[in-house]
Structures are given as structure tokens and as C-alpha cells.
Amino acid sequence: MLKIISLFTLTALAEIGGCYFVYIWFKKSASAWFLALAAVSLMLFAWLLTLHPEASGRIYATYGGIYIVVSLIWLRVIDHVKLSTFDLLGAAIILAGTAIIIAGWRNG
């Protein structure tokens, strides 16, 4: 399960990073190199999705949970926004649901 969670985390970071580079370029009038970084990051994201070990619907459902949690971590670490109790509770519930779906892969 640790390998799967690590792959999902890398996938989420590639997707969030790609979108963030576009945001920086657009909102902060950064260099066009940020668009190149965004393109590379989003291509990495798409490629990483192909490495996941299960049917696409389950991958996207599980990935969605990990994506939300990684997004909250990004919010805290990169954007320096303090997470609320609701953020943390929601993340815990999402992780529980994600773990249940991953556990079901072996039984499905």
C-alpha cells in the first residue's frame, strides 16, 4: 500500500505543480518558462497515471482522495495557510475512504 500511496502522491504533486506554474505565470506575470515547466509537469502527471495498477475508475476515485490531501498539504507548505480543524477532519475522513477503496482492490 505504501508504494501505491507514494505513486498517488507523486502524481498529485505533478498535477498541482503544473497548475501552480500556470497560476504563477498568469497572476504574477512570471517568465514564459513557467508555462514550459507547467507543460512538463502536466505531461509527467499524465504519464504517472498510466503506472497505476488498477482499472481507471478506481484509480481516479482513489487518486481524488490523495489529491485532496496533497492539496491541503500544498496549501500549508507552499501557500503558508493555516489548516482549519475542518480541513484536518475532512482529510482524515477522505484518507479513511481512500484506504477502504485500496483495500478492496485485492478483493475485487
Per-residue pLDDT tens over the stretch 35-93: 999 999 999 999 998 887 766 677 778 888 989 999 999 999 998 999 999 999 999 99
Coil, helix or strand at residue 55 = coil
Which residues, 6+ apart, have CB-to-CB distance to 39 below 8 Å? 18
What is the C-alpha separation between 15 and 12, in angstroms, rounded? Answer: 5
* pLDDT for the residue numbered 87: 97
Domain count, the chain: 1
Residue 13's domain comprises: 2-105
Instruction: Please tell me the distance from the alpha carbon of residue 66 to that of residue 15, in angstroms, as a whole number.
Output: 12
pTM reported for the whole predicted model = 0.77
Query: What is the per-residue pLDDT across 3-33, written as a single tens digit (0 to 9) for each?
Result: 878 888 899 999 999 999 999 999 888 899 9
Dihedral (CA of 35, 37, 40, 44) sign: negative
